[in-house]
Amino acid sequence: MTDTSSASDTASAQPRVKHVHHGRTPAAWTGVTIAMIGFIVGGIAMVTGPNWTLFWISVAILVVSLIVTGIMRKLGHGAV
């Protein structure tokens, strides 16, 4: 017997691959921007002393970036 399926049948039978955004979402951009500010503040804190108060503020900014990114993903502004 011969195979009677066409090329379009076999192409549609393959499983769909999930689209990957690679961070091209508003949530990713916002999180990275806030985290970058936190790292810059932390770098300034280490160069100027070290200034431990400013360092811990920068750590708090990094935690805020994680929280904001997570909230924005839940609101639909990030990759699933």
38 in a domain, yes or no? yes
For residues 42-47, average pLDDT: 97
Q: 46 in a domain, yes or no?
A: yes
pLDDT of residue 10 exceeding 60, the answer is no
Q: Which pTM value belongs to this model?
A: 0.72
Domain count, the chain: 1
Q: What is the mean pLDDT of residues 4-15?
A: 60
Q: What pLDDT does 16 receive?
A: 75
Structural domain containing residue 26: 22-74
Residue 50 vs residues 41, 44, 47, 68, 80: alpha-carbon distances, Å: 12, 9, 6, 28, 40
Higher-scoring residue by pLDDT: 52, 7: 52
Burial of 74 (0-12, 13-18, 19+ CB in 10 A): exposed
**For position 12, what pLDDT does the model report?**
60
